[in-house]
Amino acid sequence: MIDGMTMDKIAVSLPHQVVSRARRAVQRGRASSMSAYVAAALTQKNQADELEELLAEMLAESGGPLTKLEQAAADAALFGSKRKTR
């Protein structure tokens, strides 16, 4: 956590297995606390959501998703003939 960061306290209900895995991760030193572990997970989710929004905006500005032909050409350019087309 960043020093001086404003914190909000919340209560959430999570599946038992999710909590158990998070506790094990904290015990193994992957995070300093459960709060830090959950904050990191939510940060990653927020970043993924923002990336998804950016991709949607870029696709909208460029004419939409790739056609199958465009995807095949991109796959061939990136991966050569080793990759099967969709």
Which pLDDT tens digit goes with each residue over 41-74?
999 999 999 999 998 899 889 888 888 998 899 8
- The pTM score is 0.66
In a domain, 10, yes or no: no
Work out the pLDDT band at 34, boundaries 50, 70, 90: very high
In a domain, 73, yes or no: yes
In a domain, 37, yes or no: yes
Which residue range forms the structural domain that includes residue 68?
A: 16-82
Mean pLDDT of the chain: 89
Q: Do residues 25 and 37 lie in contact, with contact meaning Cβ atoms separated by under 8 Å? A: yes
In a domain, 2, yes or no: no
Closest Cα partner for 38 from 23, 50, 49, 28? 23
In a domain, 34, yes or no: yes
Q: Give the end-to-end CA distance of the chain in Å, rounded to a whole number.
A: 43
Residue written as token pair 């895995």:
21
In a domain, 27, yes or no: yes
Q: How many domains does the chain have?
A: 1
In a domain, 6, yes or no: no
Whether the per-residue pLDDT at 83 is higher than 60: the answer is: no
